[in-house]
Structure 1
């Protein structure tokens, strides 16, 4: 089975284009299990996202929170919120991602009064519980939107009408004042996290230390550890190794370099250590990975 992957830029912003400039709306009838490592990895986007769990269970990580989503429930992810989904088995999770401009044009009264307060609020996400009346109504509308997309007919006007109906429920019931100081802390931490991640992306080929990573964001080593672990659940050094491995995997697919050269070029001083870490991450050797990608060359691989 061919797996899907989440493609992001250096800030973890998702690179996928959701819909088009004329109609910025996209429907994804996804199964989280079919993604690389059975997860939709860390990403964010300016668009709004609504997801419904039609089958299975999913762990959603949003900011510092870990949310268990069960069959029949859903979630709204606000604009600009870093999030990730994980599954332990098949988890059918259809979702829609769309620009706020579909709800109201920017700089209009409707946008200022009903759309921007949610986007700029302290609420990174909203759980959608089928046992709470207004949230159950949103889930019902969401399922109707999905059915409309699957019918394959012209449905843009009806889709936008239902998005507005759903948004009216959401904006009318969300507690937009709760946790405002918490969101400011999250925004500060996310900015620091992205600075450190950018430092890693720029210097991964070099021998860099935790102290240097922390210093790039004017933090102590313990501060850097806390922000990484609360933000994306791993340490800075673990993220550095994962990023190096991802760069190595790309070189194995696109170049004819030896494995030892790839290891050296991606910041691994010890080829044996690189081979062990590569197998742990990809569940196959570097040579097997290269062969799977169609690069068959007569160079000794680990």
Structure 2
């Protein structure tokens, strides 16, 4: 079992493993101990943003140096050195390069853990103390040092990192104890961040968004319309637009187009089909429009992209 800090350096290591619904498929920790702590270095000169993704685990993120923008659904937060945030389970989010000049990199600690590390699902502890936090309606919780209980959470999170780094005796037990202390603070102060009315709507929105994302993943090669995408979640076209804007900050049709281009990029590297055949296979009927869209998205035409990759392989 790996509980120590995992070094992640550069753009390649931040290419997240996600499925068609944006679910991050990489396991964090093990089934026996669903916890992992990552030490992440992001070089903004080689990375603009990570992919939109979500996971069952909660994510406790601490910025050690530099700056990043954390987008969580419809929220966009600029995080700086010393900031600490908890991203709730199953929330669609991504990390982005800040627009301000002068921030070349960001160093952060990311702690991902399943709520079951606090208590197993069937227990009274999970029902009384874990579920209320998971279902509180808050997409995220920011912790400020000037608020005593929140500052205590930050110190506890730092203690978890210290345990991971030093690999002390009984490391799993020590991590579990510190996470339980954090959870007790969350339960004790639940009323300060609870957002029940909006939270219920947000849970529905996230569920509908995942239904529509899955529909796009299953049918992107077909000539589908906004009406088809909306029907997948049994909602109106305007409601589908709102879901996508709130969840991934784009429209359903723009997301569909980007998804098709991403699949086309993969096929350009993995098949011997012609460019037009690949365009048709991902839902583009017009080769000229496909070329223009590909260049707008990736900075080069499909043929230029294939030549560039071929030259890289020759050099290797």
Q: Deviations over 1:193-235 (max 9, x none)?
A: 2222222222211222223222333333322222211221001
Q: Which moved more, 1:101-110 or 1:126-135?
A: 101-110
Partner of 2:196: 180
Alpha-carbon spacing, 1:196–1:291, altered in 2? closer, same or farther (3 Å) = same
User: Structure 1 CA distance, aligned partners of 2:227 and 2:124?
Assistant: 49
TM-score, normalised via structure 1 length: 0.88
Partner of 1:43: 53
Matched, 1:149 2:164: yes
SS at match of 1:146: helix
Root mean square deviation of aligned Cα: 2.5
Q: Cα distance, 1:295 vs. partner?
A: 8.3
TM-score, normalised via structure 2 length: 0.84
How many matched pairs? 297
> Following superposition of structure 1 onto structure 2, how do residues 221-300 of structure 1 map, counting pairs within 5 Å?
221-291=237-307, 293-294=309-310
Counterpart of 2:149 (choices 128, 134, 139) is 134
User: Structure 1 CA distance, aligned partners of 2:189 and 2:183?
Assistant: 10
Partner of 1:17: 27
Residues 276 and 287 of structure 2 are in contact (CA less than 8 Å); yes or no, is this contact kept in structure 1? yes
Matched, 1:192 2:208: yes
Q: Cα distance, 1:97 vs. partner?
A: 0.6
Alpha-carbon spacing, 1:2–1:256, altered in 2? closer, same or farther (3 Å) = farther
> Following superposition of structure 1 onto structure 2, how do residues 28-107 of structure 1 map, counting pairs within 5 Å?
28-33=38-43, 37-88=47-98, 89-107=104-122
User: Structure 1 CA distance, aligned partners of 2:166 and 2:186?
Assistant: 26
SS at match of 1:126: strand
Residues 32 and 85 of structure 1 are in contact (CA less than 8 Å); yes or no, is this contact kept in structure 2? no
SS at match of 1:41: coil
Unmatched runs of 5 consecutive residues or more in structure 2 = 1-9, 99-103
Alpha-carbon spacing, 1:5–1:238, altered in 2? closer, same or farther (3 Å) = same
Alpha-carbon spacing, 1:253–1:151, altered in 2? closer, same or farther (3 Å) = farther
Residues 240 and 252 of structure 2 are in contact (CA less than 8 Å); yes or no, is this contact kept in structure 1? yes
Partner of 1:300: none
Counterpart of 1:166 (choices 182, 197, 205) is 182
Residues 67 and 78 of structure 2 are in contact (CA less than 8 Å); yes or no, is this contact kept in structure 1? yes
> Following superposition of structure 1 onto structure 2, how do residues 103-118 of structure 1 map, counting pairs within 5 Å?
103-118=118-133
Q: Cα distance, 1:148 vs. partner?
A: 2.7
Residues 60 and 68 of structure 1 are in contact (CA less than 8 Å); yes or no, is this contact kept in structure 2? yes
User: Structure 1 CA distance, aligned partners of 2:43 and 2:297?
Assistant: 17
Residues 118 and 171 of structure 1 are in contact (CA less than 8 Å); yes or no, is this contact kept in structure 2? yes
SS at match of 1:121: coil
User: Structure 2 CA distance, aligned partners of 1:215 and 1:100?
Assistant: 33
SS at match of 1:68: strand
User: Structure 1 CA distance, aligned partners of 2:168 and 2:298?
Assistant: 41
User: Structure 1 CA distance, aligned partners of 2:86 and 2:198?
Assistant: 18
Residues 122 and 176 of structure 1 are in contact (CA less than 8 Å); yes or no, is this contact kept in structure 2? no
User: Structure 2 CA distance, aligned partners of 1:235 and 1:37?
Assistant: 23
Residues 141 and 193 of structure 2 are in contact (CA less than 8 Å); yes or no, is this contact kept in structure 1? no
User: Structure 2 CA distance, aligned partners of 1:2 and 1:86?
Assistant: 12
Q: Deviations over 1:131-155 (max 9, x none)?
A: 2221122112212222332335552
User: Structure 1 CA distance, aligned partners of 2:186 and 2:71?
Assistant: 21
Q: Cα distance, 1:171 vs. partner?
A: 2.0
